[in-house]
Amino acid sequence: MAITTNDLKNGMSLNLPEGLVQVVEFQHVKPGKGGAFVRTTLRNVRTGSVVDRTFRAGEKVEQAVIDKREMQYLYYDGSDYVFMDNQTYEQLAVSEASLGAAAKYLKESDSAILQMYGDEIVGVELPASVELTVAETEPGIQGDRVSGARKPATLETGLVVQVPLFVNIGDRLKIDTRSGDYITRA
Q: In what order do the strands lie in the sheet with 91-95?
A: 91-95, 80-85, 67-77, 111-117, 120-125
Per residue in 14-65, pLDDT (tens digit) is 999 888 999 999 999 999 888 899 999 999 988 889 999 999 988 999 999 8
Is the separation of the CB atoms in 36 and 27 below 8 Å?
Answer: no
84 lies in the same domain as 135: no
121 lies in the same domain as 141: no
155 lies in the same domain as 104: no
76 lies in the same domain as 106: yes
Residue 172, pLDDT score? 93
109 lies in the same domain as 142: no
Q: What is the mean pLDDT of residues 150-162?
A: 90
pTM of the model as a whole = 0.74
Counting the structural domains of the chain, the total is 3
State the pLDDT confidence band at 135, using cuts at 50, 70 and 90: very high
Residue 5, pLDDT score? 87
Q: Give the closest residue to 95 by CA, choosing from 110, 83, 79, 77.
A: 79
Residue 84, pLDDT score? 93
Q: What is the mean pLDDT of residues 139-152?
A: 72
Q: What is the CATH number of the domain that holds 154?
A: 2.40.50.140
7 lies in the same domain as 58: yes
Per residue in 90-116, pLDDT (tens digit) is 999 988 888 888 888 988 888 999 988
160 or 123, higher pLDDT:
160
Residue 145, pLDDT score? 64
Q: Give the closest residue to 125 by CA, choosing from 63, 44, 52, 66.
A: 66
Is the separation of the CB atoms in 57 and 3 below 8 Å?
Answer: no
Distance CA 62, CA 176 (A): 35
State the pLDDT confidence band at 165, using cuts at 50, 70 and 90: confident
Average pLDDT of every residue of the chain: 88
Distance CA 38, CA 86 (A): 39
Give residue 104's domain range.
67-125
**166: pLDDT strictly greater than 90:** no
Residue 119, pLDDT score? 84
Q: In what order do the strands lie in the sheet with 150-155?
A: 160-164, 150-155, 129-137, 172-176, 182-185
